[in-house]
Structure 1
Amino acid sequence: MTSPLRFQIKQKSTETAGARCGTFALSQSTPAGTDQQHVKRSIETPGCLMYSQRGAVPHLTPDNLRQQDFGGVNVSLEQILQTDQPGSFSKWPTTSPIPQFKDYKFTLSEYLRLQDLIVFCDLRDFSYAAETFRHPTPGTKKLASNTDYHAVLSTPKGIRHLTLEDYLKTVRHYRPDIVVALADTIAESTNPNEKRVRKGVERSIKWLDQILLERVGQDGTIPDRRLEEEKKRRRERKEKKRSAAAVAKAAAGEEQEKEQEKVQEKEEEIHIEPIPTEPWTEVGLFAPVGGAHLEESRIWSAQETAKKEGVDGFVIDTLSLSVLEKETRLKHVQTSLDHLPSEKPKLVYGIHAPEDVLEAVTMGIDLFDTSYPFQLTEDGKASLYYYGPRPAGQDKSNSQTLRSINLWDDEHGDKFVPILNGCGCYACKDNKHTRAYINHLLKTHEMLATVLLMGHNMFQYSQFFALVRESIQDGTLQEKTTAFRTTFGKEPVRTLEKHPNQIIVEFALQKRNQRLEGAEEAVVGAIGMGGPSLGASLGASLGAASGSSSSSNAAAVEDVEMEDGTKSKKRHETEADGENGGAKDEVVEKKVKKAADSSSPQ
């Protein structure tokens, strides 16, 4: 079968055994006259897929998304699967609504309006495969273990079980450009035992075999259906034998029992008719390579997966290694790579920081994701790092030892300079947006703050990869990597503590929302009363919602005015703002004090 993907290795590093430059693209067949918006980009490797949440790259508007120098988007199936799917796809269009594509099937790319980008669809969101990154949905319950019949997903609507049949049905309707085979991933376990690890590898290889058959139009579910039929017949025989045992012994003794056993042996012959299936050979297929922390299991998984024809690339498991030290994780990744064919692309999750990416590149990893700039943006940080010589236009006021700055810090409130001099991103170019302006946007909770920060951090990450590819081509990878580590050191360990200013803003928003919700409930209650007294009831309810302690405050103000005069009265009105959102609210005061007493800002 001809692969729908093209991976061309342009040049291998002369310094390391694994590093190489290449191009990753789709073999496209588009109608004549197709505009550029519907032609898939290619990805230069080493490179990145853009991290997304529910099919959208966080914080980026569609026009800013197109300005990014990345050719693909990583989409998590557990985040985009609709409530009625995969049970029903009745609302999913069958053909493309675009006139020149009317003879083509409607795809996930069109649904997400990502026709010009390679859509890479994986089962889960693996951006939290490193200990320094938050789970995108904090508080998510621990998932149950996968079984031989289904994988467990954590969707926005709760925990769901995805069977192989459901997976295949979803792929046939979504038609992503690339899909990762269903796998039994061991999630965030400190020390899974050998039996569990081997079972996970065995289950993943079995599912991969079935998916490869289905991809070319053959029935891959025959083994499962035969097993189910065997279990069903075994239960029926057991029930019949139990009910007829006493009668059989009394009537015919041992001879009749032997006859029954012969009949049972004949019944064991099970014939399963294959079900015609629709092939989906235009969809690329990446195979997961697991094995957790056990070297033998990782070797076995890599060797067995490498034997499969029809696999276009590999995804190296790191989720099961998330609790291990960074050096140990990279060692296990190398173990898997040693037993995979070099001519096919490899993707890895959980390796984000620039110095870790450099290490993985020297090992032979081709694709990563953009979780790193996303998490910097979530923390209010802006990238300052660079690879190789200091870029032209950057002055020495930008510290050579700082890889990022936190724009929540008060010190940036009066700095009317770009985030990074010489940066070509939308935020920095022509000094359009200054550090002081973004600091103000963060503190006023304006969404433009994260739009600008995400655009900047993504631009710097893309520049970093471009310079890494250049260093592989000119033979300076080792030299520049050593210089980078000397200049910037190691990525600081990321904690879950928020910046004190961020805590203050978020609590202020929380109190405001509580007041608005209270007012809304009061209005709904007043309207529900109806009748002639609706107006009076509505006014009373709104008054109660906006200031439930207004009467007690007024009395207190009067007392203070009689004793202390006008100045004391004004001061008291400011401090006694009541339970519904006063600036000195006891809960907020404790949180702010705790934030102020905490360690220095991130």
Structure 2
Amino acid sequence: MKFSVEKVVGGGRLGSILPGGRHEASVIETPMCTLFTKVGSAPHLGYEMLKRVSNIPDVATMSLGGLAAHHESVCKFGKGLGNFTALKSNIIFTTLHDASSAVTSGKNDRNGVAVWGKGGKFKMDPSLYVKVQEAFRPDWFQALSDGDTDRDTGKKRLVKSVNNTLDFLDSTLQLLKESEILRDSSLIGAIEGGFDEEERQRSARETSARPVHGFLIEGFEKGHSGLDLFSLENFSSLLTKTLSCLPEDKPRIMETAWSPLQVVKAFQLGIDVFSSVYPYMLTQKGQALVADYTIPPKSPSANLESEKSEDSSPPHSGSVIDLNGKSNFEDFRPVLPGCDCYCCSNFSRSYIHHLLNTSELLAYVLLMIHNFHQYFHFFCCLRNSAREGTLEDLQTSLELQNSCSCHTS
């Protein structure tokens, strides 16, 4: 993997990733998001339904929780995880934990790290971890790491977290020297340290000194992505100081459930690659993304200062709507008027409200299509906005929409 920065805008980096390996002809523009998956497939969507989504990311993230225990079966299959999951055209990026779930605390030690699936705990030391990766044959893979930390973790535990992660990394690098299968795969180092500035910077400097291809920033929230990190007083400063210790020629990744507004903020701090777990978490709640990313904004919800009349209600208010609400019972508009996704082109809010209230699985299929479509479209708009010098306008528009978000339309 190679990464180059083309332009810095408001602290954010417009760049390109050359993934190398079997995708050596590909060029991926940043900022970007990955395709979030559950047990190797897009949540709620089969392969044919996924193809109805526009702007599908080149990189598919697959967490080991639900997959590691089956590595022997994938090994016997002999063609890697991409072929096994019918996502062979995607760049496969294996990570330790599912970004939509919390990490079970107290199960990591200096001998290994635990991941969790339906079969329970699966603990890996560096030797088994490399064996699992050889079975899966990913294009990118996260180094084994001890990310069981958050803002309440004490200094002693944070020091152990960083030490364990560095020891795992060194052991993995030694094992990789003997692995012909993973020769063309890119190793992503993990940056730990919780909310301790000294440990964060030590982790960043020490990991940068190893031959890794990129960096995954974790350990802020024990793998649970429901927390708005930007609401914490020292998060932005800490992240900035951590990233200042990393080289400019390698991508920085965060697997966090961030709304479009939070993505803009993180991008300006220096994050290049994001997860698409956020649209999945909205879908699970029966909610839909309806934000306006155009500059200047076109929708009334993004320009509420001009909405003076109490008698006229805008097509939608805020950046997210809740389709469980009774107000959707006879609302025959699309989820987002003007959206050209498969869901909005064929179904109404009323119909999806009905599906949610009757616990029909189709509700989540349609909402997943819509939310993925909108989130992936947002990253196209983010890159265009950064190129055209309208990043501040985009952030201001999203802040206005977020301040007016409601859970009914």
TM-score normalized by the length of structure 2: 0.87
The 5-angstrom pairing of residues 173-322 of structure 1 reads 173-188=135-150, 191-217=152-178, 278=180, 280-309=182-211, 311-317=212-218, 318-320=220-222
Take 1:375 and 1:339, find their aligned partners in 2: how far apart are those partners?
32
Match of residue 427 from structure 1: 343
The 5-angstrom pairing of residues 311-460 of structure 1 reads 311-317=212-218, 318-320=220-222, 325-387=231-293, 388-391=295-298, 398-399=314-315, 401-429=317-345, 432-460=346-374
Checking the alignment, whether the CA contact within 8 Å between 1:400 and 1:488 is kept in structure 2 is: no
CA 1:469–1:477: 2 relative to 1, 3 Å: same
Match of residue 308 from structure 2: none
Match of residue 305 from structure 2: none
Q: 1:328 Cα shift?
A: 2.8
The 5-angstrom pairing of residues 144-163 of structure 1 reads 144-163=106-125
Instruction: Please tell me the root mean square deviation across aligned C-alpha atoms, in Å.
Output: 2.8
Q: Which runs of 5+ in 2 are unaligned?
A: 303-311
Take 1:90 and 1:152, find their aligned partners in 2: how far apart are those partners?
20
Q: 1:391 Cα shift?
A: 4.6
Match of residue 52 from structure 1: 37
Take 2:317 and 2:131, find their aligned partners in 1: how far apart are those partners?
51
Worse-matched range after superposition: 393-402 or 40-49: 393-402
Match of residue 9 from structure 1: 5
Q: 1:92 Cα shift?
A: 2.8
Q: 1:471 Cα shift?
A: 1.0
Take 1:415 and 1:401, find their aligned partners in 2: how far apart are those partners?
14
Q: 1:394 Cα shift?
A: 9.8
Checking the alignment, whether the CA contact within 8 Å between 2:100 and 2:257 is kept in structure 1 is: no
The 4+ residue runs of structure 1 with deviation greater than 6 A are 321-324, 392-396
Identity of matched residues, %: 29
Checking the alignment, whether the CA contact within 8 Å between 2:334 and 2:347 is kept in structure 1 is: yes
Q: Which residue identity does 1:295 align to in structure 2?
A: E
The 5-angstrom pairing of residues 15-164 of structure 1 reads 16=10, 18-29=11-22, 43-66=28-51, 67-69=53-55, 70-82=57-69, 85=71, 89=72, 92-93=75-76, 95=78, 106-128=79-101, 135=102, 142-164=104-126
Q: 1:23 Cα shift?
A: 2.7
Name the one with the larger helix percent.
1
Q: Which has the higher contact order (CA 8 A, sep 6+)?
A: 2
Q: Which residue identity does 2:7 align to in structure 1?
A: Q
Checking the alignment, whether the CA contact within 8 Å between 1:41 and 1:118 is kept in structure 2 is: no
Secondary structure in structure 2 of the residue aligned to 1:74: strand
Take 1:370 and 1:491, find their aligned partners in 2: how far apart are those partners?
20
Residue-pair matches, total? 392
Q: 1:332 Cα shift?
A: 2.3
Residues 324-347 of structure 1 deviation map (CA, whole Å, 9 limit, x = unaligned) = 743433332222111101121111
Secondary structure in structure 2 of the residue aligned to 1:78: coil
Take 2:397 and 2:188, find their aligned partners in 1: how far apart are those partners?
35
Larger Rg: 1
Q: Which residue identity does 2:148 align to in structure 1?
A: I
Q: Which residue identity does 1:144 align to in structure 2?
A: G
Q: Which residue identity does 2:97 align to in structure 1?
A: R
Residues 353-381 of structure 1 deviation map (CA, whole Å, 9 limit, x = unaligned) = 22211110101101111111111111111
Checking the alignment, whether the CA contact within 8 Å between 1:418 and 1:434 is kept in structure 2 is: yes
Q: Which residue identity does 1:173 align to in structure 2?
A: A
Take 1:420 and 1:200, find their aligned partners in 2: how far apart are those partners?
44
Match of residue 307 from structure 2: none
The 5-angstrom pairing of residues 486-497 of structure 1 reads 486-489=400-403
Take 1:40 and 1:63, find their aligned partners in 2: how far apart are those partners?
25
Checking the alignment, whether the CA contact within 8 Å between 2:327 and 2:408 is kept in structure 1 is: no
Checking the alignment, whether the CA contact within 8 Å between 2:290 and 2:319 is kept in structure 1 is: yes
Residues 380-414 of structure 1 deviation map (CA, whole Å, 9 limit, x = unaligned) = 11111122333589999645642122111121111
CA 1:445–1:41: 2 relative to 1, 3 Å: farther
Q: 1:164 Cα shift?
A: 1.3
Q: Which runs of 5+ in 1 are unaligned?
A: 31-38, 96-105, 129-134, 218-276, 493-599
Q: Which residue identity does 2:382 align to in structure 1?
A: V
Checking the alignment, whether the CA contact within 8 Å between 2:64 and 2:95 is kept in structure 1 is: yes
Take 1:465 and 1:91, find their aligned partners in 2: how far apart are those partners?
33
Residues 546-568 of structure 1 deviation map (CA, whole Å, 9 limit, x = unaligned) = xxxxxxxxxxxxxxxxxxxxxxx
Take 1:92 and 1:51, find their aligned partners in 2: how far apart are those partners?
23
CA 1:416–1:401: 2 relative to 1, 3 Å: closer
The 5-angstrom pairing of residues 464-543 of structure 1 reads 464-489=378-403
Take 2:40 and 2:15, find their aligned partners in 1: how far apart are those partners?
26
Take 1:601 and 1:467, find their aligned partners in 2: how far apart are those partners?
26
Q: 1:291 Cα shift?
A: 0.8
Checking the alignment, whether the CA contact within 8 Å between 1:19 and 1:365 is kept in structure 2 is: yes
CA 1:331–1:91: 2 relative to 1, 3 Å: closer
Take 1:195 and 1:124, find their aligned partners in 2: how far apart are those partners?
23
Secondary structure in structure 1 of the residue aligned to 2:206: helix
Name the one with the larger strand percent.
2
Q: 1:296 Cα shift?
A: 0.5
Match of residue 171 from structure 1: 133
Q: 1:155 Cα shift?
A: 2.3
